[in-house]
A = this chain, B = another copy of it.
Amino acid sequence: MCTAEQYTPLLLAHEAVAIDPSARTVGVKSAAGVELVGYDELVVGTGARPVIPPLLGIDLPGVYAMHTIDEARSLRAVVDGGARSVALIGAGYIGTEMADAFTNCDVEVTLIEMAPAVLTTFDTDLGALVGAELEHHGVAVKCGTTVERLESGVGGGVRVLGGPDLDVNVDAVLIGVGVRPDSTLAAAAGVPVDARSAIVVDERMATGVDGIWAAGDCVQTHHVLYAEPVYLPLGTTAHKQGRVAGINAAGGAARYIGSLGTQAVKILDLVAARTGLRDVEASAAGYEPLSVTVSVDDHKAYYPGATTVHVRITGDRRDGRLLGVQILGTYGAEISKRVDIVATAIHAGSSVAAPSDLDLSYTPPLSSPWDPIQSAAQAWIRAR
């Protein structure tokens, strides 16, 4: 067991294989064998594992689940080695971002999604606009399509078969159908996990076990607008939870205020961003949502370069509480920062109406005297 003198700040190429909460030790495996490392406080950040669908042929060479940097490098080597085509299974953030990246590398992309539109964390009609953008850039978008099996393809590639009418031969297949919490280590030590295998934590990121904290893609997450914890593996959430866990493990007092599921993605010439709840999510959570969409200029049309931005704002029709927004527009960080204005308002317990009164910035090249989110708020008030 390490003494204080032997303390090593960073153990790379070491795998934690067991936690003993009563002895306050972690069993650590390396090339040198297994040793015990003592701790006063332990922060578990074991992250997530990609979901690998149990398809026939999933273990074929040329099939990737890009989770580690090494896997990304392997895939990069495949492209640099002359790959001309790729199939992406799943059109969430990873699938659509990889479609963007491969398209920019002049690799032919077939993007396969079971749902009726890409980007299923957005409403279907907005996802369809993103799908049209992908097609406009040459991506073969196959929604409502299920992969049934993979086979060795002609010329060393992979043949992807499914329904309806899916039969493509590609140089590589990339799976991006989501992740699951990697909580095995903690669970084996008696740390409680929920039905999704996410580690149960309180607002201090404390687990049920004394001296053990957890954060990031391996834990359940408090969501401001849901009564029950959710599983939302996102980098922003992991950063905030890790900070809270670290402060508390070091003897401080920090609290994770909760997520709104705020997300942004750049896909070719578009940005889609969201925060809070959509209609379908809000209804399931017991709200009575009303969503209203405006499609307006991102800045004054008399200044060159104005483009249309679609803003869908969601609130509870009973009490007018602001619940969420989805924004889709031309590539630029202001799309996502407009979402963040709404996120800030939701955190403050805002009504849908209130953002209309906020003193937001304006100059013709950058916005309108009423920002698009204020136009959306006003449209919601009229529609209610």
Contact = CB atoms under 8 A, between A and B. Distances in A.
Given A334-B337, A371-B340, A362 B260 contact: no
Contacts of A207: none
Contacts of A358: 340, 343-344, 347
Interface string A236-261: 11111000000000000000111111
Interface string A349-384: 010000101111111011101110000000000000
Copies of this chain, complex-wide, total 2
Contacts of A265: 363
A103 to B, nearest CB: 14
A336 B367 contact: yes
A339 B344 CA distance: 12
A275 interface: yes
A338 B336 contact: no
Residue of A350, A355, A359 with most chain B CB atoms under a 10 A cut-off: A359
A298 interface: yes
B359 A348 contact: no
Q: How large is the interface on A (under 10, 10 to 19, 20 to 34, 35 or more residues)?
A: 35 or more
Contact of A266 (B261, B264, B340, B365): B365
Interface of A: 93, 97, 224, 234-240, 256-266, 271, 273, 275, 298-299, 331-341, 343-345, 347-348, 350, 355, 357-363, 365-367, 369-371
Counting from the closest, the 9 A-B pairs by CB-CB distance are: A333-B334, A337-B337, A348-B348, A264-B361, A333-B366, A336-B361, A344-B344, A260-B359, A239-B369
